[in-house]
A and B are shown apart, each in its own frame.
Chain A
Amino acid sequence: MSAVLSPPAAPPVRPAAARKRSKRLNPGRVGLYAFLLVAALFFAAPLYIMLVTSFKGMDEIRLGHLFALPQHFTTDAWHAAWSEVCTGVSCEGVRVGFWNSVAIVVPSTVLPILVGALNGYALSFWKPRGANLLFAVLMAGAFIPVQVLIYPLVKATAALGLFSSLPGIVLIHLIFSMPVMTLLFRNYYASIPQELFKAARVDGGGFWRIFVQLMLPMSTPMLIVAAIMQVTGVWNDYVLGLVFAGSEHLPMTVQLNNVINTTTGERLYNVNMAATILTSLVPLLVYFVSGRWFVRGIAAGAVKG
C-alpha cells in the first residue's frame, strides 16, 4: 500500500530546541512577560480568593475581608467538603458521586468524540448530498437552551426504556454534544488539504480505511481539544445528569450543587469553595496531562507533492 495511507513517519514538528532562541531580554521580551504576568494575575485572582476562603473559618468570612490571608488557617472545610458536609439526609460530602461521574464521563467523552470526528470527516471530504443541510440544522439545534428540550426528551427516552439509566444519560450527552463535536472536526478537517485525501483515494483507500489509518492519527491536536471540552462539559453537567441518570447514577455535580445551593439553609462558604475546587480537579488534571500534545503539529506539512 502506498505510503500516503500511513501517517508520515516523522512529522516535522516544530521542535522547541530547533527554533532560534532569542534569550536577549529586549523590550519585546519584557513586554511579553509583563502582559502574561498581568493576564495570569487577572485569571488567578478568583482562585486565590477561593483558596483563601476555603482555609478560613466562617467567623472570619463573615467579616468580609476578601483578599486577606486566613488568620486562623484551618483545613476543616476541606475535610467537610469531601466527606462530611450534608447534601440531604446523608452527610457524606461530595465524594459520594465521584465514581458515578467517572462512569458517565468516560463513555460520554469517547463516543461523542468518535462520532463527531466521523461526522466531520464525512462532511469535509465525502460531502454526501444534503449532508450540509443536515449539519446546518444540527448547528441550529445547538442554540436552543437545553432545559427547553428536556420534557420531550424525557418522553422519548421513556419510550425507549432508557429513562433513569446510565445508557440513557450517555445517549443524552451524545445528542447534546454532537453539534459542537461535529463542528470542531469538520472545521479542522477543512484545513487539511484535499490533495491528501484525493491521493489516498487514488491509492484505493475506502471510507473507513482512510478515516482510521490517515485522518484520525492526524487529528491529535483536535482530539485533545475536543477531549478537554467534552470532559469539562460532561463532568460539570448538572441538569442532564440529574434528570436522566437515575438515582443510582447521580453525578458528583448533584452533591456539589446540593452543597452550594440552598434557598433557606445556611451557607458555609468555606466548604462551598473547597467542594468546588475538589470537583474541578478531574478536568484540571486532564488539562495538565494534555499539555504535551499541544506541541505537535499536524502532519500536513510533510506531504509536499
Chain B
Amino acid sequence: MSTRAASLLRKLVPWGALLPMALVVLVGYLGTALWTLRVSLSSSRTFPNDDFVGLAQYERLFDNERWLLSLQNLAVYGVLFIVACIAIGFLLAVFIDQKVRCEGLLRTIFLYPYAMSFVATGLVWQWVLNPGDGLQQAVRQMGFESFTFDWIVDQDKVIYTVVIASVWQASGLVMALMLAGLRGVDEEIWKAARLDGIPPWRVYLSIVLPMMGSTVATVFVLLFTGVVKVFDAVVSMTQGGPGTASDVPAKFIMDHLFGRANLSLASAGSMVLLAMVLAVVALLAPVLYARSRRGSVGGHA
C-alpha cells in the first residue's frame, strides 16, 4: 500500500472509531431534536399532527403562569444546587483525602444517597421537612418551642427544600469525582509545597483546585444536566406544590406530555429549555474551555 493511501487510512481510523458516536448524535439526538422542533410547531395532542400552527404553542407557553414560575424556580434551584454541590463535594473530597480513619465507611455514607431511588428518599425528605411530624416537631419536643422549619409548605421557600434534598443526593458523586481528580495530582506538587512551607489549605485552594480544572468542568456539566432535567425530586417531595410553587420545567413538560396529552406544548417547552441551556453554555464556554486547557497544561511540573 502506498504511503499516501496508508496515511489517509490512518487519518480515517479515528473517524471510524467515532462512527457510533456520530450515528448516535445524528439519529438519536439531532434527528429527534429536529422532530421535537417540528412537533412544537403543530397542534399535536397524543400523537404528532401534520399541521402547522407557527409559534402558537410558544405563545401559549409564555402566557402560562405556571411555566414562567417553573423557569424562575429552575434558575434559583440551578445556581444554589450547583454551587452547594461543588463546594460540599470538594470539601468532602479534601477532608477525606487527609488520611482519616474509616475512609471507606465515610465514602460509602456520602455516596449511598446516589444509589437510592429518589422516589422513596424524596418521600422521606418530605416527612422530615413536614412541620407537623418532622424535624420541626422533633426539635420542639426537645425543648426549643419556637423552632420553625416549615419551608416545605411555604410558597416562596419550598424550592430551597428541593435544593437541600438534591444536594444530599448528588454531593457524594461530586465528592467521588473530585477525589479521583485529587488523587491524580502529582506527588511532586505536594512535596514542593511542603518544602516551601505553604499551609495545606492554601495548597488546595490556590494550587490543586486550579489544576483540577477539567474535573471541575466535568462536574459542572454533569450537575447542569441534572439541574435542567430535575423531576424526580420535585415529584416525590412536593408534587410541584404547594399549588404550583415548586414546579420545574421538566415536570411541566412531563405533565403535558402524558397527563394532558398535549405533545406540542411539551415539545415547545423542551425546545425553550434547550435554547436556554445553549445560551448559558455559550456564555460560559470560554471559561470552561480555558479551565480544561489549564488543567492539561498546569498539571505536570
Contact = CB atoms under 8 A, between A and B. Distances in A.
Q: Do chains A and B touch in the complex (CB under 8 A)?
A: yes
Contacts of B55: none
Interface stretch (B59-67, B114-122, B154-162): B114-122
Contacts of B263: 151
A175 B128 contact: no
A156 B27 contact: yes
Interface residues of A, number: 103
12 contacts: A14-B187, A33-B100, A47-B113, A119-B17, A122-B14, A128-B15, A134-B18, A191-B213, A191-B292, A232-B114, A272-B120, A279-B117
B83 interface: no
Contacts of A178: 21, 24, 28
Tell me which of A138, A152, A183 has the highest count of chain B C-beta atoms within 10 A of its own C-beta.
Answer: A152
A12 B273 contact: no
Interface string A202-232: 0000111000000000000110110011001
B108 A119 contact: no
A148 B257 contact: yes
A153 interface: yes
B295 interface: yes
Interface stretch (B145-153, B176-184, B239-247): B176-184
A79 B98 CA distance: 41
B113 A43 contact: yes
Given A119-B18, A301-B187, A145 B127 contact: no
A163 B251 CA distance: 26
Given A178-B21, A294-B179, A40 B120 contact: no
A276 B117 contact: yes
A257 interface: yes
Contact of A145 (B22, B95, B231): B231
Interface string B226-248: 00110100000000000000000
What class of interface size applies to chain B in its complex with A? 35 or more
Contacts of A64: 132-133
Main secondary structure of the interface of B (DSSP, over half): helix
B195 to A, nearest CB: 13
B217 A284 contact: no
Contacts of A272: 120, 123
A99 interface: no
Contact of B120 (A50, A65, A188, A194): A50
Interface in B181-219: 181, 183-188, 190, 213-215, 217-218
A16 B253 contact: no
Contact of A115 (B15, B21, B35): B21
B107 A148 contact: no
Contacts of A14: 183, 187, 190
Contact of A66 (B24, B25, B133, B281): B133
